[in-house]
């Protein structure tokens, strides 16, 4: 929100907060460009590594996954604790970086060399923080995979798993295999900064009129390769748990099985696999050569197929459903068109030719925010409303939930839709003055103010949510095991679950979405229900 002030009202004093920022960041309340850059880099880092991943994977995964597979706990509880404390340390380090001389990291969350190598101390702190966070994810992913493979309840075959579990399983493989090269790269950049090596510094680099006193011979492109090798699978880490959450909520609130269960599983596995071979579509403008560009352009186009299949399956799941517009369902429904926009706007970026015009513009910012913010974040909100009763034994307030939804949904589109317009006219990203200096931006500068208004409105509408969340823990309407009348295993456990999750070890007799089974006398059958007709094997 501070960034949005600077973009909407460049070089004007920030009200109230401006005084607290101090002279190194905002003398006279006016944000320094250096500080804007810190905010930019840390906003990305914090949102991705301290926000979405810990919430979607660490939070939802750790809580819901063992319950959904009928397990008493995660496979390695002590490892889980280590993973949490590593995350905590990483968070402390990252936040502390704002207070070191020179401020926090300011070379973008992407930390491209050589700028990041010669940047202020905050960058070193960033690298240390990343090593903690990466370690946390690695340990967590081992735990998730072993839990999902080994601790499934009797009768819970892989093809009876809720889609949420499949999504988390693939996500964990992505984290396991993609993060380590970034950890290696982080170590290398640390060496460059602290030990004077030149892994990423080319020969003959001149900074401030003086040649750098290093051996040279390094490659800035090397950093990009290693960074994006992780960071591309990372974005699928950000979206897959959300897709899982949406699937669960849709099945529950349409009172029918998800359409195309097998197709969904095949698609999510294929998507996970392909995510490892598309990374250099972030590097089309580096002069890699046409062979590389063609290769990555092709793989990127191919990866859009499973994404579309997943979205289509979720959409088709609505057809013929008996839709209940509960608060979680509102968020899940909103996810669908939002992810659609995010995904579709990715296509011109994934093709090398249009990317020439769009690279590093606000179009990119619009694209990825659409998938993560109106996409994943809305889905995560839905998940919170959905599983809150399981975790606390109480429901969140319905009216506040609806206010939160509608306000957020409208505001979030006001924030991110205009960015496409700005980007298409060529407005660059990461500019502290909001694009003032370039005359080509003249016509689209007005949108800066609109977006900022939208952002502050969005922030305001989170207040009912925060209040609702904490108030409902104490005063929410009490509920039993299965307030949503859902089929999956977590709803067999008490709310909240005791140590060991289940009173008695569950036995699974049917698939995950036995709603409205033909020939059944009841509306839905839980996975533990032995009696009653079986649904036909999943189609699609």
What's the min distance (Å) between Cβ of 413 and other proteins?
A: 37
Residues within the interface to other proteins (CB under 8 A): 71-73, 75-77, 79, 138, 141-143, 145-146, 149-151, 173, 176-185, 187-188, 191, 195-199, 214-215, 217-219, 221-222, 225-226, 229, 273, 276-277, 280, 288-292, 295, 500-502, 505
Nearest-approach distance from CB 504 to other proteins, in angstroms: 8
Query: Least distance from C-beta 114 to other proteins, angstroms?
Result: 14
Q: How far is the CB of 283 from other proteins (least distance, A)?
A: 9
Q: Find the shortest distance in angstroms from Cβ 398 to other proteins.
A: 34
What is the smallest separation between the CB atom of 323 and other proteins, expressed in angstroms? 37
| 299 vs 422, beta carbon nearer other proteins | 299
Q: Write out the two tokens for 338.
A: 């939002």
Q: Other CB atoms closer than 10 Å to residue 481's CB: what's the count?
A: 16
Q: Which residues, in sequence order, are CB contacts of 372 under 8 Å at separation 6+?
A: 47, 52, 235, 238, 239, 342
The two structure tokens encoding residue 415: 């924030």
Q: Which is nearer to other proteins, 25 or 281 (CB)?
A: 281
Buried b (16+ CB within 10 A) or exposed e, 67-90: bbbbbbebbbeeebebbbebbebb
- Of 271 and 400, nearer to other proteins (C-beta) is 271
Decide whether 209 or 504 has the Cβ nearer to other proteins.
504
The token pair that represents 173 in the structure block: 């493989």
Closest contact distance (angstroms) between CB of 502 and other proteins is 7
How far apart are the C-alpha atoms of 39 and 289, rounded to whole Å? 34
Kindly tell me which of 218 and 476 has the beta carbon lying closer to other proteins. Answer: 218
Euclidean distance between CA atoms 469 and 478, whole angstroms: 14
- The least distance separating other proteins from the CB of residue 425, rounded to whole angstroms, comes to 30
- Residue 242 and residue 375 in contact, taking contact as beta carbons nearer than 8 Å: yes
Beta strands of 234-334 (E only): which ranges? Answer: none
Smaller CB distance to other proteins: residue 177 or 473? 177
Nearer to other proteins (CB atom), residue 123 or residue 147 = 147
C-alpha radius of gyration, the chain, whole number: 24
For residues 315 and 258, give the distance between their C-alpha atoms in angstroms, rounded to a whole number.
Answer: 9
Question: Residue 376 carries which DSSP code?
Answer: I
The CA distance from 240 to 236, in Å, is 6
Give min distance, CB of 197 to other proteins, in A. 4
Three-state DSSP class for 14? Answer: coil
Q: Least CB distance from residue 406 to other proteins, whole Å?
A: 42
Contact assessment for residue 329 and residue 249, using Cβ atoms and an 8 Å cutoff? yes
Is residue 534 reached through a cis peptide bond, with omega within 30 degrees of 0 on the bond before it? no
Task: Provide the token pair at 104.
Answer: 């926090």
CA atoms within 13 A on the CB side of 499: 1
Q: Contact at 8 Å (CB) between 341 and 370? A: yes
**Of residues 134 and 412, the one with the C-beta less far from other proteins:** 134
Q: Which C-beta is closer to other proteins: that of 197 or that of 425? A: 197
Which of residues 35 and 173 has its CB atom nearest to other proteins in the complex?
A: 173
């Amino acid at each position: 929100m501070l960034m949005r002030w600077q973009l909407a009202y460049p070089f004007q004093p920030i009200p109230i907060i401006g005084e607290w920022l101090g002279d190194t960041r905002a003398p006279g309340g006016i944000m320094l460009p250096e500080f804007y850059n810190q905010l930019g880099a840390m906003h990305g880092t914090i949102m991705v590594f301290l926000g979405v991943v810990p919430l979607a994977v660490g939070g939802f995964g750790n809580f819901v996954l063992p319950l959904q597979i009928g397990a008493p706990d995660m496979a390695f509880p002590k490892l889980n604790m280590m993973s949490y404390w590593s995350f905590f340390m990483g968070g402390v380090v990252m936040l502390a970086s704002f207070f070191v001389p020179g401020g926090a990291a300011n070379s973008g969350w992407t930390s491209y060399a050589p700028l990041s190598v010669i940047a202020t101390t905050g960058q070193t702190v960033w690298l240390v923080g990343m090593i903690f966070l990466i370690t946390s994810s690695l340990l967590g992913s081992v735990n998730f995979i072993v839990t999902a493979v080994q601790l499934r309840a009797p009768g819970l075959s892989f093809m009876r798993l809720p889609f949420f579990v499949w999504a988390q399983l693939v996500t964990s493989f992505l984290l396991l295999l993609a993060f380590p090269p970034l950890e290696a790269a982080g170590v290398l950049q640390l060496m460059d900064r602290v030990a004077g090596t030149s892994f990423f510094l080319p020969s003959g680099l001149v900074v401030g009129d003086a040649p750098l006193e290093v051996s040279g011979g390094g490659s800035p492109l090397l950093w990009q390769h290693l960074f994006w090798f992780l960071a591309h699978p990372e974005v699928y880490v950000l979206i897959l748990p959300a897709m899982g959450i949406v699937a669960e909520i849709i099945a529950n609130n349409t009172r029918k099985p998800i359409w195309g269960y097998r197709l969904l599983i095949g698609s999510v596995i294929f998507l996970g696999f392909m995510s490892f071979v598309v990374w250099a579509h972030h590097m089309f403008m580096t002069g890699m050569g046409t062979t590389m560009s063609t290769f990555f352009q092709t793989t990127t186009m191919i990866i859009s197929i499973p994404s579309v299949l997943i979205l289509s399956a979720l959409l088709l799941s609505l057809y013929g459903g008996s839709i209940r517009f509960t608060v979680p369902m509102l968020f899940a429904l909103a996810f669908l068109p939002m992810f659609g926009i995010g995904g579709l706007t990715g296509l011109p970026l994934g093709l090398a030719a249009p990317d020439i015009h769009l690279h590093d513009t606000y179009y990119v910012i619009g694209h990825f925010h659409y998938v993560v913010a109106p996409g994943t974040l809305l889905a995560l909100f839905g998940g919170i409303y959905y599983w809150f009763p399981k975790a606390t034994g109480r429901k969140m307030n319905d009216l506040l939930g609806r206010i939160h939804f509608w306000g957020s949904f409208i505001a979030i589109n006001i924030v991110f839709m205009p960015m496409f317009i700005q980007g298409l006219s060529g407005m660059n990203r990461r500019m502290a003055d909001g694009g003032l200096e370039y005359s080509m931006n003249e016509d689209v500068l007005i949108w800066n103010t609109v977006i900022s208004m939208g952002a502050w409105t969005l922030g305001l509408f989170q207040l009912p949510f925060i209040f609702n969340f904490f108030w409902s823990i104490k005063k929410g309407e009490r509920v039993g095991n299965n307030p949503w009348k859902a089929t999956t295993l977590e709803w067999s456990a008490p709310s909240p679950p005791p140590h060991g999750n289940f009173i008695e070890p569950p036995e699974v007799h049917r698939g995950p979405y036995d709603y409205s089974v033909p020939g059944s006398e009841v509306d839905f059958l839980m996975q533990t229900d032995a009696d009653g007709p079986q649904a036909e094997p999943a189609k699609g």
